[in-house]
Structure formats: structure tokens, C-alpha cells
Amino acid sequence: MNAIITASELAGDLAGANPPVVLDVRWQLSTAKAAGEPPFDGRAAYESGHVPGAVYVDLDRDLAGPAGATGRHPLPDLEEFGAAMRGAGVFAGRPVVVYDGGQGWAAARAWWLLRWTGHPDVRVLDGGLPSWQGELSVEVPARVEGDFAPVPGATGLLDADGAAALARSGALFDARAGERYRGEVEPIDRVGGHIPGAVSAPTNANVGPDGRFLPPEDLRDRFKGLGASDDAEVGVYCGSGVSGAHEVLALAVAGIPAALYVGSWSEWSSDPSRPVAVGPDPQ
């Protein structure tokens, strides 16, 4: 099954016999506090206009646990996650489509969590809300209680030790911007740099100017060139397990399975005993 869906395909599915549950996961990594600006309000954006029938999901509340030693966006409590998904109308036997404001990171986080916890049919709207050609709605749909019960382990998950080992034995991709990988800047976490052995693979290079993914063959060529050989295990990390999910999604589009290190750099760098590499080279 394709991990992404076009706007025209979504419109057709919504008019079909088994329409998908649509989740609006608009979110932005906020630097507003440092800039003295109000933070992005995903719910307000949703209420101002969304795909008809879509239900809003809050990334920080529903798709992550409280920030702490395990990172800025650690795994959510599974009982709470399951309750949030059921409250959003997610059923185990009904397709799900997720979208965000166009960057794709938040939608990919929802996609990854639902897939990791066993939902068999989840897709991301390629290009996000800007790609939607239909009318937008301001109507909040009536609550429908779903039946989805998360069972973790359907896809790959890495912890800090597993990420370090994979950087030595397989291919560990760092999905952050290159300057953060190299340690030239670090606007959020304790220290800049990367996990020794990890390869810089910014997720922004997986999409075109319109925010849509490159063709599968182009993505496959890119990842193969970065070390995702046919016999290599592949893992991804980022700052806090959000943009890294977007890279896992890009790998899925390319036909390459990959595990996500959810704690990512925010967890790794919080422990001064863990090694940090800087510069353009993996080591």
C-alpha cells in the first residue's frame, strides 16, 4: 500500500463507500517564544478551515508524551494515545488519512505512530492542506468513538543504544538541517553535532518546491547513494522524532523500511556521557 495519497485521490475516497477518517495535525516547531511572538495555534488554524469531516489532533498532547530525559517529543502513553485516536474516530478497519499545513512533519508523526501501533491503512496527504483543491469547512464534525486499540511493534523503533549500534553496522540517517548535523548551530538542544557514524540526510531534500515527495525512484536513488544498500538496516533520527518520521515516510515511499529513533538528538544530547561528532563527516 502506498504511504501517501494525492488530493484528487482523497477527494475520490471521501466520496466512496468506505471513506477514510481524516486527521488534521497542523503543527509547527515553535521558536516564537525566543522571538517574543505567540506560538502557532494548530486548533485555531483547523477551526478557520479544514478538509470537510477532518478531526483535529494535537501533536504535543496526543502524539507525544511530556518532554524530559527521553526527548522533547517522546512516545506518548499508549493508553492515552489509544483514547485520543478513538476519540478522533479512528477504527481499526477503516482507512486513515492525515495531513498538516504542508511541511509534512506532523502528519508523518501521526502516520508513523499509527503504523507502529498496528493500524494497517494509514496514508499522508502529499503536499498537505495546500494541495487540497476542494472547499474547506469550518464545521467541527460530531464526535464518533472509534475502536482502534494500539499494539506497539508493527514497525521499527530504536532507542539510544540501538541508534548507536546501527550507526556502526547499518545506515543511520540524520534528518535535520546540515548545519545542525555539523554542529555549526544548535537553536534548541544542549549541544550541536551528530551521533558518531550517522549520515547527514536532511528530510527537506526529499520533497520538491511544492512540498510534495519526489518520485519514488528519485528517493530510492538518493537513499541508496547515502548508504541504504539492499542488505543494510536503516534508521532515522532528527531533533525530537518529528521530522525524522517524515524521512521514514520518504523511505517508505522509496520502498525502503526504516526504524525511527524517537528520542533523537534531544535525548541523545541531553546525556553528557554520550559521544558527539561534529563536522561534515559521519565519524
Domain count within the chain: 2
Instruction: Provide the domain limits for residue 195.
Output: 157-268
> What is the 3-class SS of 123-155, one letter each residue?
EEECCCHHHCCCCCECCCCCCCCCCCCCCCCCC
Both 12 and 127 in one domain: the answer is: yes
Both 162 and 262 in one domain: the answer is: yes
Evaluate whether residue 108 is within a structural domain. Answer: yes
Of 96, 131, 166, which residue is a domain's last?
A: 131
Q: In this structure, are residues 213 and 206 in contact, taking their beta carbons and an 8 Å threshold?
A: yes
Both 8 and 97 in one domain: the answer is: yes
Burial class (CB in 10 A: 0-12, 13-18, 19+), 274: middle
Both 121 and 184 in one domain: the answer is: no
The model's pTM is 0.96
Rounded CA separation 107/243 (Å): 10
Of 114, 131, 148, which residue is a domain's last?
A: 131
Residue 64's nearest CA partner among 104, 121, 120, 105 is 105
Give residue 283's pLDDT. Answer: 87
Overall residue count recorded for the chain in this entry:
283
Both 54 and 93 in one domain: the answer is: yes
Evaluate whether residue 182 is within a structural domain. Answer: yes
Rounded CA separation 238/14 (Å): 33
Would you please indicate which residues are annotated as catalytic (active-site) residues?
Answer: 238
Both 123 and 165 in one domain: the answer is: no
Q: At what angle do helices 243-253 and 105-116 cross, to 10 degrees?
A: 70
Tally DSSP H helices, then E strands, for the chain.
11, 10
Q: List the end-to-end C-alpha distance of the chain, in Å, as a whole number.
A: 36
Evaluate whether residue 278 is within a structural domain. Answer: no
Angle at 45 between CA 41 and CA 48, to 5 degrees: 140
Rounded CA separation 240/187 (Å): 13
Both 163 and 126 in one domain: the answer is: no
Give residue 36's pLDDT. Answer: 61
Per-residue pLDDT of the chain (283 residues; tens, 9 = 90+): 799 999 999 999 999 999 999 999 999 886 544 456 678 899 999 999 999 999 999 999 999 999 999 999 999 999 999 999 999 999 999 999 999 999 999 999 999 999 999 999 999 999 999 999 999 999 999 999 999 999 999 999 999 999 999 999 999 999 999 999 999 999 999 999 999 999 999 999 999 999 999 999 999 999 999 999 988 999 999 999 999 999 999 999 999 999 999 999 999 999 999 999 999 999 8
Evaluate whether residue 280 is within a structural domain. Answer: no
Both 34 and 117 in one domain: the answer is: yes
3-state secondary structure of 42: helix
Q: List the CATH number of the domain containing 41.
A: 3.40.250.10
Evaluate whether residue 76 is within a structural domain. Answer: yes
Rounded CA separation 249/203 (Å): 10
Evaluate whether residue 261 is within a structural domain. Answer: yes
Cβ contacts of 44 within 8 Å, gap of 6 or more: none
Both 164 and 254 in one domain: the answer is: yes
Both 99 and 9 in one domain: the answer is: yes
Evaluate whether residue 219 is within a structural domain. Answer: yes
Tell me which DSSP letter residue 239 carries.
S
Cβ contacts of 131 within 8 Å, gap of 6 or more: 6, 7, 102, 125, 210, 211, 212
Evaluate whether residue 144 is within a structural domain. Answer: no
Both 92 and 207 in one domain: the answer is: no
Give residue 78's pLDDT. Answer: 97
Both 210 and 174 in one domain: the answer is: yes
Alpha helices, H only, the chain:
7-14, 32-35, 42-48, 59-62, 78-87, 105-116, 160-169, 178-182, 216-225, 243-253, 264-268
